[in-house]
Structure 1
Amino acid sequence: MELHEYLNILKKRWSLIVVITLIATLISGVASYFIIKPTYKSDISVIIGKQDAGDAKTTTQNYNDVMMYQKLVKTYSTLVTSRTVAENAIQKLGLNMKAEQLQGMISVAPKGDTEFLTITVKSRDAKQAMEIANQLAVSLKEVSANIKKVDNVQILDPAELPTSPDNPKPKLNMAIACFLGLMVSVGVVFLLEYLDNTVKSPEDIEKLLGIPVIGTIPVIVDSEK
């Protein structure tokens, strides 16, 4: 097919394309606004390393221990999602949930090759997400101090109350649904055209038989009838 033939196919079935695209966008909007329950996210950042006492000797030691603390970040990433830390946070906050539930709400992300560690908590309650994130940092600090007998966790940025849901994102979801609906509708249009083997024009006859059309019989409509 040539380009103008593709355009003619789309033009012929443009209404089907519009309907499918609008339905997909509408379904996505309804689901995002009324069906999917919003989830809130709260982050807290901690630094893995001893607190600097300020003297030259301690500063030199901390500088020499940077690589060690960077490696410890991976250890503390696992520790913050452990059952022990989760149970400690549940007990301190008086939460009515199991450790496995809380562990499923937590995600941890080291910031590259640094001593920084970001703890993220997702919850359907914005205030709960903030409180759990802050308590997890405190619980990590307490549990690690009990296990390693040294306080290597320093809280940098406390978690704040989220002002908007992290998920769903209605506008983004509707834009994606609109694009997918458009692609699917175009595919359906071309599929219907491919499955339609009826002859509709002299050009179809020339393609089918490989011979030119020398004449056509017009349809005569009797106006009196």
Structure 2
Amino acid sequence: MRETLSIKDLFQMVKKRIALIFIITTLITAITGIVSFFILSPVYQASTQILVNQSKESTELYNVGEIQTNIQLIETYSEIIKSPMLLEKVKDRLNLDLSNSALSEQINIVSKGNSQIFTIKVESTDPKLAVDVASAITDIFQVEIKALMNVNNVNVLSKATIGDNSSPIKPNPIMNMIQACFAGVIISLVLIFLLEFFDNTIKVESDIEEHLNMPMLGIVNLMDSKKKRK
């Protein structure tokens, strides 16, 4: 293969192996679709929102420093929620046969910037189990945080319900197939470039000069049988 390639050469490479690109892309997209639709288990998500805010009397004004303290406490609360102590209590309440690490991987704590609200999200292949775990975490956390930190600044804004989680959050077969299609095209292009790079056959006149390191003096054109008879 020549050391340098022009844009025209690249287009010729793609044109010559367009069938290979189509086959590989179609195959990868089809396999991804089959796996997404028929093999991967749907995953459901239940979520509940928690407000971190010290209760106040109606005449008491809010303190900016106290609000910042509540926001900073969210990180600590997130660690407590995913701690072995709390996870063990959740497993005992729901009779779950899971390790702490497996249960922790299903739990995600999300907070936004300077908000005093954080969200507990639980993922599971069973929508009812996701709701049960989210509810158990919320109930146990509210009780345990009072004993652990001697505070009463946790309030539940929304509770998880099965109705809110009737549709799985993943897999997304259509999106997976779109991504697989792009991946198939890229893989096909890389493959044909590699095939062209390792192809040492002589295709054009310049390849002769490159391989033999000798100047080309002339070209003998092929003649068809009719011209030969004449």
Q: TM-score, normalised by structure 2?
A: 0.84
Q: How far did residue 7 of structure 1 move?
A: 0.9
Q: Structure 1's 215 and 98: CA in aligned 2 closer, same or farther, altered over 3 A? A: closer
Which of 172, 175, 198 is equivalent to 2:175? 172
Gaps of 5+ in 2: none
Alignment partners' CA distance in 1, 2:156 and 2:106: 20
* CA shift in 2, pair 1:180/1:213, >3 Å: farther
Q: Of 46, 51, 54, which aligns to 2:50?
A: 46
Match of 1:111 in 2: 112
Q: Which of the numbers 194, 199, 203 marks the counterpart of 1:196?
A: 199
Do structure 1's residue 217 and structure 2's residue 225 form an aligned pair? no
Q: What CA distance in whole angstroms lies between the structure 2 residues aligned with 1:31 and 1:184?
A: 19
Which of 178, 181, 184 is matched with 1:181 structurally? 184
1:212 Cα offset (Å)? 5.9
Secondary structure of 1:65's partner? helix
2:198 partner amino acid: L
1:85 maps to 2:100: no
Cα shift readout 1:166-220 (whole Å, capped 9, x = no counterpart) = 2212112111111111111111112112222222344544665553644313354
Q: Given the two structures, how large is their TM-score scaled by the length of structure 1?
A: 0.85
Instruction: Tell me which residue corresponds to 1:68.
Output: 69
Equivalent-residue separation in structure 2 for 1:13 and 1:125 (angstroms): 46
Q: Structure 1 residues 5, 214: closer, same or farther in 2, change over 3 A?
A: same
User: Structure 1: 5+ residue runs without aligned partners?
Assistant: none
Amino acid at match of 2:111: P
Q: Please, which moves more after superposition, 110-119 or 26-35? A: 110-119
How many aligned residue pairs are there? 218
Separation in structure 1 between the aligned mates of residue 102 and residue 224 of structure 2, nearest angstrom:
74
Q: Does 1:120 align with 2:121?
A: yes
Q: Structure 1 residues 89, 214: CA separation in 2 closer, same or farther (over 3 Å shift)?
A: closer
- Does structure 2 conserve the Cα–Cα contact (< 8 Å) formed by 1:51 and 1:154? no
- Which amino acid in the other structure matches residue 9 of structure 2? E
